[in-house]
Structure 1
């Protein structure tokens, strides 16, 4: 019976754990690595899983999901490496950490998959991109896909694209929230009550996202359907172009990509 361990019981770690439980994983096949007694007790009561220390999790599990901060990855690997063995699968959810970084710190033959998730996983609408390491085969990738599919959609990408993925979907929710925040503030400036502006903007976002997903139309087509000649939308879009919003997005995503590269190299 395949045992899966989640090491790192923060927000994303618990999100993955709860997604696996909702997806039908038996709790007796799930382990959680957590050192804090009060947090361990909370997770055991909430999900009925076994909470152990990281070394025990690494010893017992066939698949380990490392849901830790990039700056903590080296210490966690140093702790669990003596307990790892060839044939195990390590799935890393740490931004910027390469498969080669992990492979150089674990025994030969341990399969490594790199994942870039995002926070909509909290509502089972996550977007995860996965990449295979040196010793990873299709069986390992399929298992990693199954893990992340419990909290949203999954795509496979070459690892060289992971920094771009981080910039687009990993950090992407923050850009959307920033836009929503800005539109709500604009609504208040234009005289709407804040609660009304909030409801208008959020539902407009939800509806627009649904149109993109369900129609399959290119966003340019959908934008043009809203934009009447010399109308209100055209006037607004002209201002966005004057203020170089497209260029700002490109610069912002390049900065996020570069930061992901820096995290990996450090």
Structure 2
């Protein structure tokens, strides 16, 4: 482990689940030197081939014995599908120790419900990363239950900063995080589809339209980040009276573009609440 790369985290880390978010986290925390591969144990339901793949890629330990994983780890990361969560966690009832830190990446499942299923009062941190974690650029919201200490929150923050940026919120705000940044990449991809499609329809080769669109998005994102100016002000600077940008914006306004985006985020937030409610 390279001590130059971030602060190291002590103890064993167990991942219950072996999907794409786990792979992204393994890549991030090992690359940044937060932990060494020998500190990590990964388990899943029954896909030994997937476990073997992660073992080869990251030199981590793997097992299909969930109880052995829980007994050996200090930090338990729950990365299982919501539909499997109740059964999987109730199988572990009584196995989790009060002193363990439990971090959940299970969408929509409240910390109180995880505590109930596990049958123990323990520190639980609920998180909502997004798919950009695969390239280390996730925007992750984290929320804590009443047992989480500052030191434990710092550990979780370090882990998720290895795959992007981290924002601490109240648990009831995680549904909003889900609607905004959890689902957000899909809205951007949808916009890109439309822009590339329009460029192609107007006569550009598809790859040229794609590259122009992506560079435009990248430049706009950096303008927002680097100047810290409000998006409305930056938009006004691009929009000359009677010019091409104004003509395009008038069409977006006619189609109620901002209202559509806002409604999409609010509906996704509402849907997150609906999905969470079915587990309560």
* Category of TM-score, reference length = shorter chain: over 0.9
Q: Which secondary structure state, in structure 2, belongs to the residue aligned with residue 80 of structure 1? A: coil
Look up the match of 2:106.
94
Look up the match of 2:213.
201
- Offset at residue 146 of structure 1 (A): 1.1
Look up the match of 1:44.
55
Taking structure 1 as the reference length, what is the TM-score of the superposition? Answer: 0.97
Alignment counterpart, residue 79 of structure 2, candidates 67, 80, 83:
67
CA RMSD, Structure 1 to Structure 2 (Å): 1.1
- Offset at residue 109 of structure 1 (A): 2.8
CA offsets per residue over residues 74-105 of structure 1, 9 Å max, x none? Answer: 12211223321101111111111111111111
Look up the match of 1:225.
237
Alignment counterpart, residue 20 of structure 2, candidates 6, 11, 36:
11
- Offset at residue 107 of structure 1 (A): 3.5
In structure 2, list runs of 5 or more residues that go unmatched.
1-9
Taking structure 2 as the reference length, what is the TM-score of the superposition? Answer: 0.92
Matched, 1:134 2:143: no
Work out the number of aligned pairs and report it.
Answer: 266
CA offsets per residue over residues 232-260 of structure 1, 9 Å max, x none? Answer: 00111111011011111121111101110
Q: How does 1:21-170 map to 2 (within 5 A)?
A: 21-24=30-33, 25-34=35-44, 35-53=46-64, 54-170=66-182
Q: Which secondary structure state, in structure 2, belongs to the residue aligned with residue 217 of structure 1? A: coil
- Offset at residue 170 of structure 1 (A): 0.3
| Structure 1 stretches of 4+ moved >2 Å | 79-82
Mapped partners of 1:191, 1:232: distance in 2: 18
Mapped partners of 1:76, 1:17: distance in 2: 22
In structure 1, list runs of 5 or more residues that go unmatched.
none
